[in-house]
A and B are shown apart, each in its own frame.
Chain A
Amino acid sequence: MKKTHLNPLKLLIPIFCAAVALYSQAQETDWSKELQKADGKTLRVIMIQDPWVKGFDTIDKEFQKLTGAEVVVDSYSYDDLHQKEVLMGNNKSDSYDVVVLDSPWVGEFQQGGYVENLKPSLEKDAKIVQWDDFVATFRQVADWKGSIIGVPFGAYFVLFNYRADLFKEAGLSPAKTIEDLKTAAKTFTNNPKFPGGYGIGMNNQRGSAVGQAYFEYIYNFGGKPFASMYPGSADPYADMTPQFTSPQSIEVVQFFKDLLQNEPPGALNMAWDQRANAFATGRLSMACLWSVREPLLEDPSRSKVNGKFGTSVFPTKEGTKPVPPLGGWVMGINTASKQKDLAWDYIKWFTSPETHKKFVLLGGPPSRISTMQDPDVLKKSPWIQTVFESQSQTFADCRPRIPESFQIIDKVGLHVSEALQGQVSIEAAMKQANEEIGALLKKAGYKVSDTP
């Protein structure tokens, strides 16, 4: 099973693959019974261009061996992917059979009728899919108004990353609370023992960067963006009265603002990539990063901090239950596809426990509990232990999954950015956010009361 692959970074992978394959041979599903033959067919998958995409090349060859179908994966950047998928769905085009959705897109796609309801297929192939093995909240994400529109194959979590070596030297333990985080950030800025380094890097760039950051922290400050949107709520969308002027909300933005002094120059325009690179090149003592970047931190050609960093659960305010941010991708079927059976075969095979493990070992995001606790996996990527600790505390609607989600996050992103820049006061910015988003939601038909 050893394959030659032009990938100098992962010389260990073929070995692992072989080991895994041999190990799981005994428990492997008899795929020849489960998958239909599809010789000469081409299955087209549209995918997000995230670091683990390379793994598809290796894995999909197996599918071709099993079914005879060639799998073609086209990946695009986040915005482009979204637009192409919407255009495709809107025009009932069959350019791609398998689509992937980010959690906020779920409502939009279900409402537009762009993706199939997979419930019947899931029930039919329950034994292979092992639905309950997926992260509970992420299963919820794929569920919208009674339809399950995707298999949650790529769960992302924001993990608190910190320089274990520096923290040890300073005698600090990884920040569990926001207060700890603030202390640590202050400690490591302008610290002669950490020359050229800064405490922390945050997503402050206007738009979805800082907008999403808001939604990452608000629950961890004991707040909620909308009246009925909080972990444990029966229906998060029942009452969408915006709460951006609440004391907790103001506190979050104030927190962002205060941290600026412990961030590197350019902090106001910093987004995911710069933040991660700053941490990877050793300039930051901590950064909250999406778990998808962890493999990059372990890669010596892209990171200086391999072996020096640790991960822990997302920090929360003292006395508040942690709500680690959840994101990631579900895999669904284009309603206009003419190869739905083949598409389902692919999905159930790709997301099955055996294949998922192979995928994770190639750098893919772990989304199954069994995979997260697999010793091989944990040995290779110890940070997955933090993922496991985080997943049970996540909130499926930490970012709204309604079609208006983009606008909401973007508007928050605009006003928070203005507040951080100092162009307006935090209170004024949040008040405007409240008004604009309230108006937007009211127009879209949600319940919005005039008093928060």
Chain B
Amino acid sequence: MRKKSLRKALLFIFAAILTLLNIAPLLWVALSSFKTRLEIFSSPPSLFPEKWQVQNYIDLINVNLPYLLNSIIVTLLSTLGVLLLSVPAAFGLTAFTFPKKRDLEMWFLSGRMMPPVAAAIPFYLTLRQVGLIDTHIGLILLYVGIGIPLAVWLITSFMRSIHPAIYEAARIDGCKWRDIFLRITIPLSSGGIATATIFITIFAWNELLLPLFLTNRFAKTFPVVLTSFQGQTEIAWELMCAGATIQVLPVIVLTFFVQKYIVSGLTLGSVK
């Protein structure tokens, strides 16, 4: 017994070290956001700033708060939209069988294959025609489309682990598909849905190319702000690090909240 918990403790320490190493670059970014430009480039590199330059953050937020809000709005709403469309779609792909189902699944995935480079101009042209350039709605509509393939695939693979016998039993009992969906499938695959939500949110939150071209001032999102610090002659490192830290923070918070659902969802899903 002792040996087992010792082994476990060692493994835990090992995992902790690995994790620390893994996020060390992010810690470096966070620390750098409080340094002056000179300190960031000092040789040998210094770990902590001499004086914590909170000014970097103040300068950044003063100007860019509206864009941060835009990011939040667009991300939340588009994630919602993706879920509304994808969860039923995943159910449709796993609970039923019909001809060409495989093709349909493949087709869902193909939505993700378009190199963003190629999609930027057509999207620009379309949005321009309907007057949705630089609007939240325009961005949300596109983000939803981008999120569907990933969401459908992730949720489908979780839903697949639900044994058809469950559906069979429910149907025998006279259950309507809608109720099966709401009362059985969603709870059982909540782990998958939670996992998918994280990913969709992350990708929406970090999306850069589309808002770069499709927004100017009103709907600009935060990643665009981040990249604007990379000039040709100069990179405003301290501001960019501050921005990057701000960019990552909400995601960290979100993950902490959702991760307990993943855990419970995973164990539930393995009911055999």
Residues of A participating in the B interface, judged by any CB pair closer than 8 Å: 6, 8, 44, 48-51, 72, 74-80, 83-84, 87, 91, 93, 95-96, 196, 208, 272-273, 276-277, 280-281, 283, 290, 292-293, 296, 300-304
Contact A281 B231, CB 8 Å, known A87-B213, A95-B134: no
- B62 near A80 (CB under 8 angstroms)? no
Q: Which listed residue, A95, A292, A293, A304, touches B38 by the CB 8 Å rule? A: A304
- A6 near B228 (CB under 8 angstroms)? no
- A75 near B228 (CB under 8 angstroms)? yes
Residues of chain B lying within 8 A (CB to CB) of residue A293: 233-234
- B43 near A78 (CB under 8 angstroms)? no
Identify the closest chain A residue to B59 (Cβ): A6
- B234 near A74 (CB under 8 angstroms)? no
The 10 closest A-B pairs by CB, nearest first: A78-B232, A302-B37, A301-B36, A273-B235, A49-B231, A281-B41, A277-B41, A95-B216, A77-B230, A49-B228
List 22 contacting pairs A-B, 8 Å CB cutoff, sorted by A.
A6-B58, A44-B217, A48-B231, A50-B231, A50-B234, A74-B216, A76-B228, A77-B228, A77-B229, A80-B212, A80-B227, A84-B212, A91-B124, A91-B125, A91-B128, A196-B43, A208-B232, A277-B37, A283-B43, A292-B233, A296-B234, A301-B36
Residues of chain A lying within 8 A (CB to CB) of residue B227: 77, 80
Contact mask for chain B residues 15-43; partner A; CB cutoff 8 A; 1 contact, 0 none: 00000000000000000000011100111
- B37 near A301 (CB under 8 angstroms)? yes
- B231 near A72 (CB under 8 angstroms)? no
Per the bound structure, the CA–CA distance linking A95 and B133 in Å amounts to 9
Per the bound structure, the CA–CA distance linking A283 and B235 in Å amounts to 18
Identify the closest chain A residue to B53 (Cβ): A301
Contact of B264 with A by CB under 8 A: no
Per the bound structure, the CA–CA distance linking A83 and B212 in Å amounts to 10
Contact of B161 with A by CB under 8 A: no
- A276 near B234 (CB under 8 angstroms)? yes
Residues of chain A lying within 8 A (CB to CB) of residue B259: none
Residues of chain A lying within 8 A (CB to CB) of residue B230: 49, 77
What's the minimum C-beta distance from B100 to chain A, rounded to whole angstroms?
Answer: 39
What's the minimum C-beta distance from A334 to chain B, rounded to whole angstroms?
Answer: 12
- B38 near A301 (CB under 8 angstroms)? yes
What's the minimum C-beta distance from B89 to chain A, rounded to whole angstroms?
Answer: 33
- A93 near B128 (CB under 8 angstroms)? yes
Per the bound structure, the CA–CA distance linking A205 and B62 in Å amounts to 35
Q: Which listed residue, B41, B128, B228, B229, touches A280 by the CB 8 Å rule? A: B41
Residues of chain A lying within 8 A (CB to CB) of residue B59: 6
Q: Which listed residue, B121, B125, B232, touches A272 by the CB 8 Å rule? A: B232
What's the minimum C-beta distance from B269 to chain A, rounded to whole angstroms?
Answer: 44
What's the minimum C-beta distance from B133 to chain A, rounded to whole angstroms?
Answer: 7
Contact A302 B229, CB 8 Å, known A74-B217, A93-B128: no
- A6 near B62 (CB under 8 angstroms)? yes
- B36 near A302 (CB under 8 angstroms)? yes
Identify the closest chain A residue to B229 (Cβ): A49
**Known interface pairs A77-B229, A77-B232, A272-B233; 18 further A-B residue pairs with C-beta atoms within 8 A, sorted by A's residue number:** A6-B58, A6-B62, A49-B228, A49-B230, A50-B234, A75-B228, A77-B228, A77-B231, A78-B232, A84-B212, A87-B213, A93-B133, A272-B232, A272-B234, A281-B42, A293-B233, A300-B38, A302-B37
Per the bound structure, the CA–CA distance linking A302 and B233 in Å amounts to 14
Contact mask for chain B residues 43-62; partner A; CB cutoff 8 A; 1 contact, 0 none: 10000000000010011001
Q: Which listed residue, B43, B58, B62, touches A281 by the CB 8 Å rule? A: B43
Per the bound structure, the CA–CA distance linking A50 and B37 in Å amounts to 15
- B38 near A302 (CB under 8 angstroms)? yes
Residues of chain A lying within 8 A (CB to CB) of residue B228: 49, 75-77, 80
Residues of chain B lying within 8 A (CB to CB) of residue A80: 212, 227-228
- A50 near B233 (CB under 8 angstroms)? yes
Identify the closest chain B residue to A72 (Cβ): B217
User: Which interface residue of B37, B121, B124, B134 has the most chain A CB atoms within 10 A?
Assistant: B37
Per the bound structure, the CA–CA distance linking A79 and B216 in Å amounts to 15
What's the minimum C-beta distance from B224 to chain A, rounded to whole angstroms?
Answer: 8
Residues of chain B lying within 8 A (CB to CB) of residue A277: 37, 41
Residues of chain A lying within 8 A (CB to CB) of residue B42: 281
Contact mask for chain B residues 205-244; partner A; CB cutoff 8 A; 1 contact, 0 none: 0000000110011000000000111111111000000000
Residues of chain A lying within 8 A (CB to CB) of residue B134: 95
Residues of chain B lying within 8 A (CB to CB) of residue A44: 216-217
User: Which interface residue of B36, B59, B216 has the most chain A CB atoms within 10 A?
Assistant: B216
Q: Which listed residue, B55, B62, B216, touches A8 by the CB 8 Å rule? A: B55
Per the bound structure, the CA–CA distance linking A302 and B35 in Å amounts to 10
Per the bound structure, the CA–CA distance linking A79 and B251 in Å amounts to 28
Per the bound structure, the CA–CA distance linking A276 and B235 in Å amounts to 10
Residues of chain B lying within 8 A (CB to CB) of residue A77: 227-232
What's the minimum C-beta distance from A300 to chain B, rounded to whole angstroms?
Answer: 8
What's the minimum C-beta distance from B14 to chain A, rounded to whole angstroms?
Answer: 33
- A84 near B213 (CB under 8 angstroms)? yes
Q: Which listed residue, A49, A76, A87, A302, touches B124 by the CB 8 Å rule? A: A87
Per the bound structure, the CA–CA distance linking A77 and B212 in Å amounts to 11
Contact A280 B38, CB 8 Å, known A50-B233, A91-B128: yes
Residues of chain B lying within 8 A (CB to CB) of residue A50: 231, 233-234
What's the minimum C-beta distance from B260 to chain A, rounded to whole angstroms?
Answer: 40
Residues of chain A lying within 8 A (CB to CB) of residue B213: 83-84, 87
Contact mask for chain B residues 110-130; partner A; CB cutoff 8 A; 1 contact, 0 none: 000000000001001100100
- A78 near B231 (CB under 8 angstroms)? yes
Identify the closest chain B residue to A76 (Cβ): B228
Residues of chain B lying within 8 A (CB to CB) of residue A51: 231, 233-234
Per the bound structure, the CA–CA distance linking A79 and B213 in Å amounts to 12
Per the bound structure, the CA–CA distance linking A8 and B216 in Å amounts to 29
- A273 near B125 (CB under 8 angstroms)? no
What's the minimum C-beta distance from A156 to chain B, rounded to whole angstroms?
Answer: 8
User: Which interface residue of B124, B232, B234 has the most chain A CB atoms within 10 A?
Assistant: B232
Residues of chain A lying within 8 A (CB to CB) of residue B36: 301-302
Identify the closest chain B residue to A291 (Cβ): B233
What's the minimum C-beta distance from A288 to chain B, rounded to whole angstroms?
Answer: 13
Residues of chain A lying within 8 A (CB to CB) of residue B232: 77-79, 208, 272
Per the bound structure, the CA–CA distance linking A96 and B55 in Å amounts to 31
Residues of chain B lying within 8 A (CB to CB) of residue A8: 55
